[in-house]
Each structure stands twice: as C-alpha cells, then as structure tokens.
Structure 1
C-alpha cells in the first residue's frame, strides 16, 4: 500500500473549488488582493515523482472563500497534454492543493509584492 501524499485533495473537492472560482469570482472581483501562492517543496517533489510530462494549475475557491491553486500532473498523448486524473484514464495521478495564498503568506520585502 502506498503512503498518502502530502497536500492532496480528491477530485470532488477540486471540481467544486474550480467551479466556484469560475462562477463567483471569475473576473477578479472579490479576490483582487491575491498576488501569489506559496508552494511547499514537498508538493512539487511529489507531483514531479509521478512521471509527468508537465503540470497544469487550476485556480479555485474553497467553502471558506480561501483561494486555491491546484496542480495536476499531465501526460502527453499525441499533440495534447492530458490531466493525470482517474476520469482521463490515469489512476495514479493526484491533485495537489496549494492552500497558502498571498496575502497573508507573502514575502513583505519582495519587490514583486
């Protein structure tokens, strides 16, 4: 049995977060303060260890109105890069939930902030 990966969420939650972003805040409105996301190193290591050809990032909002950055691995199939999810034929792919938006987890001294 494989160990549970860090910071993964299930497809049901990921689809809900993405739909909520598009429905309620798809034009920047209430999330105008969002500048960036802090991404834990372990999340990047785990998604890259899945044997990906690339990654795709989705933006979402959870039920507490916290912005989410969700990353899934992709595999090249022909000319396309397909999300590695069970619904696309990849049982081993995970959805990583990067839940530290900036603000509040900003680098206050960064020239990009």
Structure 2
C-alpha cells in the first residue's frame, strides 16, 4: 500500500532513501532508533506536550562508548519539559530522577534489524561496538491502558553528560516530532512501532527516514505491485544541527553550544 503525503515529510523514492542511509552510515555508527507508539503517547499525555524531542547521546559502558537516545516532551513554546527537582523534593521513588527525561528509546547499534534494506555495517567504530549491551532486554513497552515509562527516567546530570559527549563530536543534535505529525505517521505506516534511520543527502544535509516495524522487530517497507520498495517518508522540516537551530530548544540543558 502506497503512502500518502503528510505535513513536514516528503515522499522520497527508495533508491534515494537508500543512498541517504548509506552515506550517513559511512561516517556514523548510530544508524537508527526505535520507539513504541504508546510510550510516546504517555509522554504527550502526561506532560501535556505538543511534541517530543529526541536527543542523540553517547553513554559510557565500561571502557566502551555506546549510542544513547533520550526523549523529552516539548511544550507550545518549543521548550523541553524538564523538571529540575532537588533530591529532597519528596516527589517520586527516587526523588532526584523525577525529571521528564526518558531513555527507553532503543538505538541501533544495540537494537537493530540487521536484515533491513537500510542497514549497512560501514561505521567508523567511534561508538557502538559489539560490546554495547542491547537496550531492549526485559523492556516492557507501554500499552493503551498502562504507561511503563516512569522507571526509565534519568537524572538531568546523566542526560547532560550523554548529550554533551555526542554534540562535541557530531553536527546533528536532536529530532523533533509534532504530535499531529506522529498521529498521521502511525496511521500511514500501519504500525505502533517506528524505526527512524539517519541519512545524509547529496548536499550533506542530515535527514531522517521513517520505517514501520512489525511485532518481531523487523522493518516494513511499502511495496509496489512488483514487490519493489516504494516511496518512504523523509523530513522536509529542518533538523536541529550546529548549522540550523530552527527546531532546537536552545535554552534546554540538553542543548550544548560549540
């Protein structure tokens, strides 16, 4: 079933999408990230958010640098919804981690579909080696009736350290998804799980590529009558980079200047 046009995303031929992904993965280890619809809707509902923002990060795992992915809610003023609460606030079981910063999103490497047509094992090896532990593990995604995100909040200090480690090395800082765009994306892709691949176009601009994921964790590509991959969603709105701050939250503790 062919996709229909939606706001902020262009329908792009698979051949070009394939080139974008391959170009990105030649110079970056972080290939993609996976998230579940109900987890994101829990943030949108509980935080009264109009969007969510994903930050790329790097987390130390022993002597290994591993890809990290952090998500926060975003308010109508485009600001990250983060609670800077002290340890003695008396809120939540850990007090100091009631922040609204979550790390349940699953990055690749660590959680990949290695059989995907957009997976190329060509990264330079700065982060994301085989020594990085998988991020899914015993993770239980949220459902329509129950949110399972509370225990995946992290401290502001840990989030700052992770995002700073990434932004020191790479141009792309974060990716913003508006609530109404997500609703249409889920509808068009026909799945509750989405994997977002990173890409570089012919002019060196960062892109994101949206792929539906089935219950077994494999990517689902729209097919034509001959069984060939059809057009896919690629962002038309700018991403937050060192060169473009249009969709950035520049006053967020997770946004770092050069």
* Equivalent residues, number: 105
Q: 1:82 to 1:32 in 2, by over 3 A?
A: closer
Counterpart-to-counterpart distance in 2, 1:86 and 1:13: 15
**TM-score, with length taken from structure 1:** 0.72
- Rounded to whole Å, the distance in 2 between the matches of 1:97 and 1:85 is 14
Query: Secondary structure of 2:218's partner?
Result: strand
Aligned counterparts of 2:3 and 2:223: Cα–Cα separation in 1: 18
SS of the residue corresponding to residue 69 of structure 1 reads strand
Q: CA deviation at 1:53?
A: 3.5
Q: Does 1:35 align with 2:200?
A: no
Note closer, same or farther for the CA distance 1:3–1:62 as it changes in structure 2 (3 Å cut): closer
Give unmatched runs, 5+ long, in structure 1: none
Structure 2 spans left out of the alignment, 5+ residues: 29-123, 127-168
2:235 is aligned to: 98
Determine whether 1:61 maps to 2:200. Answer: yes
Q: Compare the two structures and name the one with the higher helix fraction.
A: 1
How far is the alpha carbon of 1:40 from its aligned partner? 4.3
Check if 1:110 corresponds to 2:113. no
The offset of 1:90, in angstroms, is 9.1
Structure 2 vs 1, CA of residues 59 and 15 (structure 1 numbering), >3 Å: closer, same or farther? Answer: same
Cα root mean square deviation, aligned: 3.0
Q: Distance in 2 between matches of 1:43 and 1:96?
A: 12
2:172 alignment partner, SS class: coil
Relative to the length of structure 2, the TM-score reads 0.35
Rg larger in structure: 2
Contact 1:40 1:98 in 2 (8 A): no
Confirm or deny that 1:82 pairs with 2:209: no
Counterpart residue number, 2:15: 12
Cα distance change on mapping 1:58 and 1:70 into 2, 3 Å:
same
- Aligned 8 A contact 2:13 2:232 in 1: yes
Normalized per residue, the structure richer in strand is 1
**Structure 2 vs 1, CA of residues 42 and 85 (structure 1 numbering), >3 Å: closer, same or farther?**
same
